[in-house]
């Protein structure tokens, strides 16, 4: 860990401004960073504790799946990463679905109805407002030491402030409220919901998470195109498997369990929000 990063750039959140529970007991703010996930992995290797939260006012090099980037604006997007040392490591691939359910619930507490597109994108209508990325930090022996969960949530970006190429596919929460919405008013519900749902996952396994995910899904029952780095498959999304895979039924009636990929439906996948990634 670079002393300059810890001593001069990262500052504790104001007292009383964090959530209860283990997530958010330590919250660090930074004005600008390349990637909150990358920095928190660095801090984790230097001893940052379980549940540490890193928040950036601005992120200039956010990373998503496939190294895609996402448009965000300083003060109008949440850029958050959370360090997890105790969550189930063997099933860490389920973590982003846990987080998607949590963020959906947090946003619902604000009176905003969203849906989840498999595996973990949060949609307002058909516009993406949030994306999630989990990254594992391994020991030299290859054992997972901890996981960093990042999310980027567009809070108050005006429609006209998105680049033209994104205006039809990206959005922000404020577009649903038609009233001013600040990032800090969204942060606490998000951290609280994450703490709650990760506790459910740790204690009861993935089943209750999967049940909630299915209720909020905008994917199940639809004909979709799913793409990964190697191929595309098309068919009907029939269910979420017990391990979080999407079960796709093709035109021949065969079922495929898809563990990673993006639903693109004929267009290039939208980059995941950089603010937590």
Domain count, the chain: 2
Q: Which distant-in-sequence residues (6+ apart) come within 8 Å of 150 by Cβ? A: 36, 37, 40, 80, 81, 82, 132, 133, 134, 135, 275, 276, 277
Distance, in Å, from the CA atom of 267 to the CA atom of 169, rounded to the nearest integer, reads: 11
* In a shared domain, residues 240 and 212: no
Residues 254 and 162 in one domain: no
207 plus 250 within the same structural domain = no
Instruction: Specify the DSSP class assigned to residue 5.
Output: I
Q: Which domain holds residue 245?
A: 223-263
Q: Are residues 8 and 135 in the same domain?
A: yes
Q: Return d(Cα 159, Cα 229) in angstroms, integer.
A: 31
Domain co-membership, 46 together with 119: yes
Integer Rg of the chain from CA? 18
**What are the residue ranges in the chain where pLDDT is below 50?**
1-21, 66, 266-277
CB-based contacts of 12, cutoff 8 Å, min separation 6: 26, 27, 28, 29
pLDDT of residue 87: 75
Whether residue 210 sits in one domain with residue 235: no
Q: Are residues 150 and 233 in the same domain?
A: no
Q: Looking at the structure, do residues 114 and 141 belong to the same domain, yes or no?
A: yes
Cβ neighbours of residue 263 closer than 8 Å, sequence gap 6 or more: 117, 118, 219, 224, 225, 226, 269
**What's residue 13's pLDDT?**
41
User: Same domain, yes or no, for 39 and 158?
Assistant: yes
Q: Taking a C-beta distance cutoff of 8 angstroms, is the pair 220, 237 a contact?
A: yes
Residues 130 and 197 in one domain: yes
Query: Is there a single domain that holds both residue 130 and residue 49?
Result: yes
Give the pLDDT score at 16. 37
Can you give the CATH number for the domain in which 51 is found?
3.30.930.10
Cβ–Cβ under 8 Å, residues 125 and 137 = no
In this structure, what is the dihedral angle of CA atoms 228, 92, 23, 182, given to the nearest 10 degrees? 10
Task: Please state whether the predicted TM-score (pTM) of the whole model is above 0.85.
Answer: yes
Does 227 lie in the same domain as 157?
no
Q: Which position has the token pair 């992120």?
A: 59
- The pLDDT of residue 234 is 95
List, for residues 213-235, the tens digit of each pLDDT value: 999 999 999 999 999 878 899 99
């Amino acid at each position: 860990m670079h002393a300059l990063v810890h001593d001069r750039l990262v500052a504790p959140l104001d007292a009383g401004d964090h959530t209860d529970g283990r997530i958010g007991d330590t919250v660090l703010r930074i004005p600008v960073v390349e990637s909150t996930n990358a920095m928190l992995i660095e801090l984790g290797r230097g001893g940052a504790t379980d549940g540490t939260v890193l928040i950036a006012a601005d992120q200039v090099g956010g990373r998503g799946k496939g190294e895609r980037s996402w448009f965000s604006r300083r003060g109008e997007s949440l850029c958050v990463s959370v360090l997890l040392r105790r969550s189930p490591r063997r099933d860490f691939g389920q973590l982003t679905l846990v987080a998607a359910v949590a963020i959906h619930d947090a946003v619902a507490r604000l009176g905003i109805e969203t849906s989840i597109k498999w595996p973990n994108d949060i949609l307002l209508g058909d516009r993406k407002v949030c994306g999630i990325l989990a990254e594992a930090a391994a020991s030299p022996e290859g054992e997972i030491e901890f996981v960093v969960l990042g999310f980027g949530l567009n809070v108050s970006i005006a429609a006209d402030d998105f680049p033209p190429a994104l205006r039809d596919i990206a959005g922000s929460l404020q577009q649903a409220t038609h009233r001013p919405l600040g990032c800090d008013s969204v942060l606490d519900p998000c951290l609280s919901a994450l703490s709650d749902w990760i506790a459910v996952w740790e204690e009861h396994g993935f089943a209750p998470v999967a049940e909630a995910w299915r209720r909020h899904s905008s994917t199940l029952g639809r004909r979709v195109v799913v793409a990964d780095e190697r191929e595309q498959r098309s068919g009907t999304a029939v269910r979420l498997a017990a391990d979080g895979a999407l079960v796709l039924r093709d035109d021949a009636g065969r079922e495929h369990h898809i563990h990673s990929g993006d639903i693109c439906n004929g267009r290039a996948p939208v980059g995941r929000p950089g603010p937590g990634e």
